[in-house]
Amino acid sequence: MADNKTGLELRSLIKKSGQLEISLARVPVPEPAADEILVRVEASPINPSDLGLLVGAADMTTAKASGTADAPVITAKVPEAAMKAMAGRLDESMPVGNEGAGVVIKAGSSEAAQALNGKTVAMIGGAMYAQYRCMKAKDVLPLPEGTTPAEGASCFVNPLTSLGMVETMRREGHKALVHTAAASNLGQMLNKICLKDGIGLVNIVRSAEQGDILRKLGAKHVVDSSKPTFMDDLTNALVETGATLAFDAIGGGRLAGQILSCMEAAANKTAKVYSRYGSSVHKQVYIYGSLDTRPTELVRNFGMTWGIGGWLLFPFLMKIGAADGARLRQRVVDELKTTFASHYTKEVSLQEALQLDNIAAYGRRATGEKYLINPNKGG
């Protein structure tokens, strides 16, 4: 199937009729301009943030496979009620895959591009679930000798997000952090960063097994939201760490509000006078994921000094500027095989990524389970 002029690219399309269609398009291999390089993509993770674009609001229990083994097609229904939120992407065949890594196989004439020829590089910018990706030379992250594409595939989203959480904590005047779905790949990185930097971190997990994963990494504060003592356990951990800022990957249900309630209870343990407006300590939760797509429910028993908001990596990087962004990226490269090492459940080809059993597995968004796509696997 492979030739030198075309390559496969995964596409997600939601039609006006309410049908999701995921397929592999055969597209021309781009010719790099002077300041560009052409990368053979060999590793690209399926992050929760990719699933949003890949399956959109479709109900994947309705998913059906068709097409051929080489050119599989997946279709599924988008519920009527969810179509409004999809309005912006209707009838547009969209490439997917935020980040990845691969080998530079062709370079433009510029010195910067030529210097990368044959190098393994990490990339961010979408359309990574493809055999070839053309990038500006200045936008890629060259990986140190001896780094494989699989090792460098997740250089951006999780590493920069976890570093961004710590950076946000410092910039907004908090002294410790709370994190939910804390046994995730991202959560494990955050634990390593906080242990290394001496920052208090309260990990909220949903099962004993997830707690064990973190304790093995050396996590000091792990609380289990499935236990009846959860609220007390969380409050105690907040008193011990002084954490007044949380990053929440769950989004839906009562958890974000419960964190604020416990922060308020922790603040009031040391309060001297009663104020019916609650403590004057600012309590903040940033929702950066949506593992639970139900509504967020806030039982407002945490006074008036609080905030909840969305948090997203790219606007954050824009806000801190190029110099600070470069500092964070350098740390990722320096600690790629330690702090920022990622582990994958399974490596799949583009075709395998479109098999129903694999979709069911990575679509679960289960903590600690992560798929890696190698668009050139066996190719």
Rounded CA-CA distance 10/63 in Å is 17
- Work out the widest C-alpha separation in the chain, in whole angstroms: 75
Nearer to a second copy, 105 or 231 (CB): 231
What amino acid occupies position 57?
Answer: A
Residue 295 beta carbon to a second copy: minimum distance, rounded to whole angstroms: 5
Nearer to a second copy, 56 or 159 (CB): 56
Residue 168 beta carbon to a second copy: minimum distance, rounded to whole angstroms: 13
Residue 19 beta carbon to a second copy: minimum distance, rounded to whole angstroms: 18
Nearer to a second copy, 19 or 207 (CB): 19
Q: Report CA 49 to chain centroid distance, whole Å.
A: 5
Residue 148 beta carbon to a second copy: minimum distance, rounded to whole angstroms: 30
* Cα separation values, 63 from 15, 45, 77, 238, Å: 15, 22, 7, 43
Rounded CA-CA distance 200/203 in Å is 10
Residue 293 beta carbon to a second copy: minimum distance, rounded to whole angstroms: 8
Rounded CA-CA distance 152/333 in Å is 9
- Cβ-contact 178, 243 below 8 angstroms: yes
What amino acid occupies position 289?
Answer: G
Nearest by Cα to 333 from 134, 175, 119, 182: 119
Q: What is the 3-state secondary structure (H, E, C) of 113-163?
A: HHCCCCCEEEEECCCCCECEEEEEHHHCEECCCCCCHHHHCCCCHHHHHHH
Nearest by Cα to 179 from 266, 252, 233, 255: 255
Query: Footprint of a second copy on this chain (CB under 8 A)?
Result: 52-53, 56, 84-85, 87-89, 92, 94, 251-252, 257, 268, 271, 274-277, 280, 287-288, 290, 293, 295-301, 303-312, 314-315
Nearer to a second copy, 274 or 322 (CB): 274
Nearer to a second copy, 89 or 331 (CB): 89
Residue 257 beta carbon to a second copy: minimum distance, rounded to whole angstroms: 7
Nearer to a second copy, 89 or 220 (CB): 89
Nearer to a second copy, 73 or 298 (CB): 298
Residue 306 beta carbon to a second copy: minimum distance, rounded to whole angstroms: 5
